[in-house]
Structure 1
Amino acid sequence: MSDIDIDIDIDIDGAAPAAHGTETGIAPVWLALAALAASFFHQLMLLMPAALVTLAPAAVFDNWLFWGAGVLGFVLMAWLAQPSRHGSTQHLSREQAPRLYARVDEMTDAIGAPRLHAIAIDNSINAGALEENRGVSLRPTRRVLILGLPLLRLLDTAAAEAVIAHELGHFSRRHGRLGHWLYRTRAAWTAWAASVREDEDDSSPWDRAGANFAELFLPWFSRASEAHSRRCEFEADALAAQWASPEALARALLLIEIAVMRQGDASTTLDLDALRASAEPPAQWADEPVQELIARPPTPEEIAEALRHRQPQGSHPPHRQRMEALGVAGESLNLRPPAWEESAAAQWMGGVWPELCQAQGPWAGAAERLSWAMAHAALVGLDADSQPVLSELPELPESSDEAAWRRLHRRQAQAQAAIEHGRVQPCDLAPSQIEALRRAVSVNSTIVQAWLFDVPVEPSTVAIVLRIDPERMIAMKLSLEQVATTLALTMRLVLPTERDWMPRFSYMTEGLPPELQARVDATPRLKG
C-alpha cells in the first residue's frame, strides 16, 4: 500500500488544519451550534401555530385534562413534522452477497471504522455512507454503505475497494454526526423557502417571514457547511489512499465522473432501437456505461473537463484538487473499464447479479415498465423516416427567479382553467401522431377513455383528458400520479419539441364539469 501524508484531524471541538487544496473555514463546533440553532428555530416556526391550536384550550380553561391532551397533541405533531430521508435503495443480505460482506468487514476492521449494519444497492453510478435514524429518533442509528450497481460494474476490485474505503472513512471519522445536522438544517429551510415561492400569494405572513429568514441564512450556511464537507472529503480520500492506493482512488474518481458526465449528456436521448425492438425494457442496463466507455474511450478534453467539473463552492472539491492531494496526475491514468470477469460486480456479486439488476433497473417499477411498453407501442408502425426524436424536457426557471416561477404557475393555471371550462379546440396533431398515441393508451388498462384537445395558451399545449378505472389502478399498485408518469415518455416521443402537454384525470366513478363534458361528447375518442 502507498501512504500519502495528509493528516487532517476534523473534530467537533476544533477546526481542521489546512491540507492540499483544503480550507479551514469556520470551526466545526461553531458550525454545529449554528446548525442546531437554525434547526431549533425552524421547529419553532413550524410548530408555533400548532402550539397555539393544541395548547389554547388548556390556557383558557386551565384544566389538567386539557393541558395533558394539549401537550400530547403538540408532541405528536412535533414528531410527525420531523424530516425524513427516503431513498430507492435495497438492502442486501449476507446470504445474497457473502463475498462482498466478507471483504467490507475485513476493510472495516483494518481501517478502524465501526462495523456496518447493512449494505444497500441502488441504480446510480455512485456510493454513499448513510446513517439511518440519526437525530431525533427513538430507534438506534444504523450505518449503511450504499453502492450503485453500475458503479460495481464500472470498476475493478482495486478501484471499488478505494471507493468503499473512502465511504468507510466517513464512518471512521464520524462525519455523519455533524453532517446529519448540516443536511437536515439546509434541507428544512430550503423546503420552507421553496414552498412559499410556489404559492406566495396564498402564503401567510408567518410563512413569508420564515422564507425571508431562509433567504438571508442559507447562502452563508451553505458556504460554511459545504466548506466543512470538502474537508471531510479530503480526509476520507487520504484514508482510502492508505488502504488501496492513490492511483486506484484517482482512477475510480475519474471513471465515475466521466461516466456520470456522459450519462448527463444522454439524459434527453434514448436508445430508440431498443425501445422499438421490444416491449420489455433492457435487462443489462448496468452494463451500458461500461460499453459506452469501451466504444468511445475518454478523450483528453473529457478528462480535463472531469478534473475541473466540480465547482470550488460545493460539497465536493474539484477533482483536480483531489488528484493533487493524492499526488496523482489524472491525465496519465488508464481509464479503460474492466471486462466483466475483472469487475467488482463479477468478483463480489456472482450469480445474484442478474436478479439485482432486474429489481433495481431504471425501468423496474410497475409505472416505469408500463411507460416503456406504452412508448414501444407508440413507435410500432412508424416509418423510420418519420421516426420522432425524443424531445428535451422543458427547462424550469432558476430557483432564485421568483418572477419566472410565478409566470410558469400562471400559465399552468390558465391551461388548467381552460380545460375545466371546456375552452379547448380539436387537436391538430398529424394523423400518424394521433395513431401513435392511440396505440400507447391502449396498452395502459387503467385508462378506460381518452380524448385529445388543443389548449389556446402559450406555449401551445396538448391536453389529454383521461378517465381512469380506480379498481384496475389499485390492482396494478399504481397511484394517479404514476399513471400520469406512464404518459410522459410517449408524449415526449410523439409531440413536436415546441409543444407542451397537460393531463386531466378523472375516475370513471365521477363526472366531468358540464362544459368539458360537452366538448368530449362532441369529440372522437382516442380510446374507449
Structure 2
Amino acid sequence: MTTSEAAPRARGETPVAWLVAAALGAAGLHQLMLLVPVALVTLLPGLLFDSTLFRVVGVGAFVFLAWVVQPSWRSEMRLLTRAQAPRLHARVDAMTDAIGAPRVHGIVLEGDLNAGALEQHRGVSLRRTRRVLVLGLPLLRLLDTAAAEAVIAHELGHFSRRHGRLGHWLYRTRAAWAGWAASVGTEVEDSTPWDRAGASFAMLFLPWFRRASEAHMRRCEFEADAIAAQWASPRALARALLVMEVSSMRAGGAPDGASLDELRSSASPTRQWVERPARTLLDQPATPEEIAEALRHRQAHGSHPPHRQRIDALGVDAAGLDLSPASWNESAAAHWLGADWDALCADAGPWSGTGERLAWAMAHAALTGIDPVALGASPVREAMDAQAFRRLERRHRAVWAALEQGRGQPVSLAPWRREAIARALVANEAIAQAWLFDVPVAVQGQPASMDTGVVLRVDPRRMEALGLNLEQVTRTLSLTMALLLPDGQAWAPRCSYTTEGLPPELQARVDVTPPLKG
C-alpha cells in the first residue's frame, strides 16, 4: 500500500455502517437501562395520583436525572495556554492548516511516553465537540523535531478524518457495558434482576463488539499514518514509532516510575523520569532483538496494528532506521518549549500533585538508612488485566473484612521493614495513628495467603489543610508499601477519621497492639 492509499478493509471486517448502528443501538440500550429505574421513581407518582404538580415535578426530575447520567465532556486535564508555549502552538496551528485538519481547541501535556487525539463529548448534548491534542513530555524530550512532527501529524490525521466521531461512540459503548458487567460481577449477590439482565447482555455483546471496533480502529491507524506520511517524512514516522516502542518496552510500561537512587537522593521529586528514555537509549543503543520485538509489538487483533505492518505500509525498511535519541539541543522539547521546560515538567508530570509529592517524600523517608541490597530492583508498576484486578480487589475486601472482625495477627515483617514504614508514616502529617497486622486471606479460586493489613486513622483537619481526601491520603502509602513488602505480598488499608470510632472487634485488637504511629 502506498502512503496515499487508504487501508483496505480486511476480510470479515464489519462494515462501518453496521458498526455505527451497533454502537448507537447499544449506547441507546444502555441509556434505556439506566433511565427506566429513574423513570419509575420520578414519573410513577404522577401516573398514580391525578395531580398536575406531581406530573410537572416528576417530568422535571426525570429530565434532570437523565442529564446527570450522561457522561461528562469535562476532564481534569489542564490545557497548555498559548502564553506558556507559543512556539508549540504556532507549529501545531501551521501543521493543522497544512494537513487540512480542523483546528484543535487545546494542547495537553502529560507524563506518559505517548501522544493522542482526544475528542471530548458529553453524550447527547448541544455542546460542541472539543478537540484536544495530548503530548507526552518524555516523547518531546526523546524525539527530534522531524520525528515529533510526524507523530503530531498522525494525531492530526485522526482529526482530519473525523475518526473521533465514531471512535467516541465505540469507546463510550464498550466502557459503559464493560463497567456494567464489572460492577455486577463483583456484587452478584447484591445485584437486582435488572442489573443481572444488563450484565448478561454485556457478556454476549462485548466480545463481538470488541473485535469489530478494534478492526475499525486498526484501519484508522493506517489512515492516520498515510496522512502523516504525505505531510512529513515516512522514515521520520517509522523511526518515531520504533524509538517510542523500544523506550516503552525498556520502561516496563512505567516511564514515570522512580528509581531507588532517585528516591534516596532527594526528598522531593526529580526530573529524571522525563530524561530516562533518552538517557537509556543513548547509553545502550537498541539491540537487534529489541527492534525485532518492537516490530512485533501490538496485538494482531488489538486497537493498533503491529509496527511491522505499519512500517511496511509506509514503504520504509526498518533495518535502515537510526534509533538514536535526540540530544537536548536537537529535541522537540528544546525547540518548542525551551526555557519553560523545567516548569512544565514540574507542573504536568506524574509527581506534580500534592498526593504524589507526599508519596515521594514518604518513600524517601522510608529508604533512609536502608541497605540498597536488601530491597533489590527498582519498583515498576505492572499493568493488570481486568481479571487480575478483580482478584486483587477480592483480596483487598477480604483483608478489610478480616480487620473489621478483629482477626488481624501480630505482624511478622522484619524489624527493618516495620521501622521503614514507620518513618514513612511520620512524613505524612495527615495520618495520626497506624497499626500493622498480618491477615490470613482465603479467597475462593485463589490460594490462601498472608497479606498485610494497615489500620490508618486520619486527622480530617490536617488532611484538609494538605488539600487531600481520604482516598488520596491512603494512596500516599502505596509507593512505600510496594518498596518494602516482600514479593507477592499484598496489602490493604482500613482507613477512617480520628473523629470516628472503630468497630468493637477491631478496637479490641488495636488496644493490645503497639502502633507504628500515634
Aligned sequence identity (%): 61
Q: CA deviation at 1:498?
A: 3.7
Other-structure match for 1:433: 417
Cα shift readout 1:387-417 (whole Å, capped 9, x = no counterpart): 4555677996x5468xx95x76654444323
* Per-residue CA distance 1:224-276 (angstroms, 9 max, x = gap): 11111111111111110010111011011111111111122667975111111
Q: Runs of 5+ in structure 2 lacking a partner?
A: 442-447
SS at match of 1:83: coil
The structure-2 alpha-carbon separation of the partners of 1:412 and 1:118, relative to structure 1 and needing over 3 Å to count, comes to closer
Quote the Cα distance in structure 2 between the aligned partners of 1:77 and 1:459: 44
Q: What is the aligned counterpart of 2:143 among 155, 160, 163?
A: 155
The SS at the match of 1:452 is strand
Corresponding position: 1:445 with 2:418? no
TM-score, scaled to structure 1: 0.92
For 1:463, the equivalent position in structure 2 comes to 453
Determine the structure 2 residue equivalent to 1:11: none
- Residue number in structure 2 paired with 1:142: 130
Q: TM-score, normalised by structure 2?
A: 0.93
| Residue ranges of structure 1 left out of the alignment (5+ in a row) | 9-16
Asked if the contact 1:378–1:437 (Cα under 8 Å) also holds between the matched residues in 2, the reply is yes
Task: Pick the aligned partner of 2:349 from 361, 365, 368.
Answer: 361
Deviations 1:305-348 (A, max 9, x none): 11111112111111111111100111220000110001111001
Could you tell me how far 1:485 is from its partner in structure 2? 1.0
Worse overlay, 130-139 or 26-35: 130-139
**1:39 corresponds to:** 27
- 2:490 corresponds in structure 1 to 500
- In the alignment, the residues of structure 2 paired with residue 517 and residue 424 of structure 1 have an alpha-carbon distance, to the nearest angstrom, of 11
Q: 1:383 aligns with which of 371, 377, 393?
A: 371
- Structure 1 pair 25/248, CA: closer, same or farther in 2 (3 Å)? same
Find the partner of 1:325 among 291, 308, 313.
313
- Secondary structure of 1:261's match? helix
Look up the match of 2:407: 423
Q: Where in structure 2 are the equivalents of 1:129-208 lying within 5 Å? A: 129-133=117-121, 135-208=123-196
CA displacement 1:64-93 (0-9 Å, x = unmatched):
322221121111111111123665532111
Q: Does the 8 Å CA contact 1:18/1:24 hold for their aligned counterparts?
A: no
| Other structure's SS at 1:460 match | strand
Residue 7 of structure 1 aligns to a residue whose secondary structure is coil
Offset from partner CA, 1:408-455 (integer Å, 9 cap, x none): 665444432321222222222222122111111111000111122222
2:445 is matched with which residue? none
Match of 2:362 among 374, 377, 381: 374
Deviates further, 84-93 or 128-137: 84-93
Moved more, 233-242 or 267-276: 267-276
- Pairwise CA distance, 1:304: 0.9
1:272–1:87 distance in 2 versus 1, CA, 3 Å: farther
Query: Are 1:49 and 2:37 counterparts?
Result: yes
**Counterpart amino acid of residue 462 in structure 1:** T
Asked whether the 8 Å contact 1:107–1:165 carries over to 2, the reply is yes
Residues 178-205 of structure 1: per-residue CA shift (max 9 Å, x gap): 1111111111111111111111121111
1:259-310 deviations in whole A, cap 9, x for unaligned?
1111226679751111111111112421111111111111111111111111
CA shift for structure 1 position 516: 1.9
- 1:519 Cα deviation from its structure 2 partner: 2.1
Residue 513 of structure 1: which of 491, 503, 506 is its match?
503
Which residue identity is paired with 1:374? M
Equivalent pair of 1:467/1:505 in contact (CA under 8 Å)? yes
* Counterpart for residue 7 of structure 1: 5
The amino acid of 2:5's aligned partner reads D
- Relative to structure 1, the CA distance from residue 362 to residue 392 in structure 2 (aligned partners, 3 Å threshold; closer, same or farther) is closer
Partner of 1:254: 242
Per the alignment, residue 82 of structure 2 pairs with 94
Alignment of 1:78-117 (within 5 A): 78-84=66-72, 89-117=77-105
| Alpha-carbon distance between aligned partners in 1 of 2:71 and 2:254, rounded to the nearest angstrom | 33
> SS at the partner of 1:200?
coil
Deviation at residue 23 of structure 1 after TM alignment:
5.7
Alpha-carbon distance between aligned partners in 1 of 2:257 and 2:226, rounded to the nearest angstrom: 38
The answer for the alignment partner of 2:281 in structure 1 is 293
Q: CA separation of 1:125/1:395 partners in 2, compared to 1, >3 Å: closer, same or farther?
A: closer
**3-state SS in 1 of match to 2:491:** strand
User: For 1:391 and 1:251, how far apart are their aligned partners in 2?
Assistant: 29
Q: CA RMSD in A?
A: 2.3
Aligned AA (1:311): Q
Runs of 4+ in 1 over 3 A off after TM superposition: 3-6, 84-89, 265-270, 384-396, 398-401, 407-414
Deviation (angstroms), 1:161: 0.9
Worse-superposed segment, 113-122 or 187-196: 113-122
